[in-house]
Amino acid sequence: MKLKEIKNQLMEVHLNYSSRNSKLILEVLGQLKQRAVEQKDQDSAKEIWCLEQILEVQDTYLDAYKALKSGEYYNGWRSLERTDIEYTFLFRHFKEHDNKYWIEFINKHTTQYQSLFPYKAFVSPEYLKKEVKCSICDQVINIRNHCGHRVGEIYNGEMCTRLITKVKLLGGSIVTSPLQKYSVCFPTDPKTGQRVDHYNYSYVKFVIDRLQSPFDNWDIHWTKKRHPHSRYSHIGRNDKCPCESGRKYKDCCLPKSGVLRPHCQIEFSVKPPEGLSMFEYTD
């Protein structure tokens, strides 16, 4: 397999995603990069790193799609977060070529998928970095000692990062906007000690059920719309309004044509499978 063939496979991921051999592609890229480093060809080594990163972005996005299709929503969420991280690594180095490798498409739809999830609370660890090393030269980094390698730059076909090798955990917090989105808060069943997934994934399910390919385009618009009062017949006149304004139902939305609630409108570029409704109410 030659470099040109690999590039073509990456560009045609929307056609070959179910059949291509990512492991083989990665192996060949590794050999080509090693040859470039031996020849001190930093530009070629960096280009090959970018191709490796494109493959990683594509594969983690496909992992997310497969997990969501299987109803493994938290695993899908984790893969979406990984896709987002890998895209961030790639963006500064290869953004001028994103479109032909479907990278901008993936970034857009990763963000859209994430917006559908019900997760609102996350655990954020607080820790003290006691030792940090450079991933390129393995040198300990501190205020008085800097190795000269810049974080995010590519050296010999590898990206420079900082590795926390010694750490002291100080505590943790519950936050709504975490740096790491993996740490979703789940309750535990006191009888079994097992994690309980109590979240409502109806938005995610609505979209993923109507997609026939991970590369079908879809768009999302968040607005507010009045939902029929019949959906809230269990709410008393003197209870708090379902619109969450804090006012009584009778003094808020009850006199109106419906209850004002968040409304998610999805537009699909490819017609969903026959038999699936195009409109659903969810809580």
User: What are the domain boundaries of the chain?
Assistant: 3-116, 122-175
**pLDDT, position 260:** 95
How far is the C-alpha of 76 from the C-alpha of 83, rounded, in Å? 10
Mean per-residue pLDDT of the chain: 92
Tell me the per-residue pLDDT of 69-97, one tens digit each, with 9 for 90 and over.
999 999 999 999 999 999 999 988 876 65
**pLDDT, position 72:** 97
pLDDT at 283 over 60: no
**pLDDT, position 274:** 85
**pLDDT, position 273:** 87
**pLDDT, position 96:** 61
Higher pLDDT, 283 or 249: 249
Interacting residues of 115 by C-beta distance below 8 A, sequence separation 6+? 220, 222
Where does 160-279 have alpha helices with state H?
202-209
**pLDDT, position 276:** 81
Instruction: Specify whether the CB–CB gap between 218 and 211 falls below 8 A.
Output: yes
Name which of 229, 252, 230, 248 is nearest 238 in CA terms: 248
Query: Which runs of E-coded beta strand occur in the chain?
Result: 122-134, 154-155, 158-159, 162-175, 218-227, 259-268
pLDDT at 271 over 90: no
Tell me the per-residue pLDDT of 90-147, one tens digit each, with 9 for 90 and over.
988 876 656 799 999 999 999 999 999 999 889 988 889 999 999 999 999 988 888 9
Higher pLDDT, 272 or 211: 211
pLDDT at 281 over 70: no
pLDDT at 178 over 90: no
What number is the average pLDDT over the span 51-60? 97
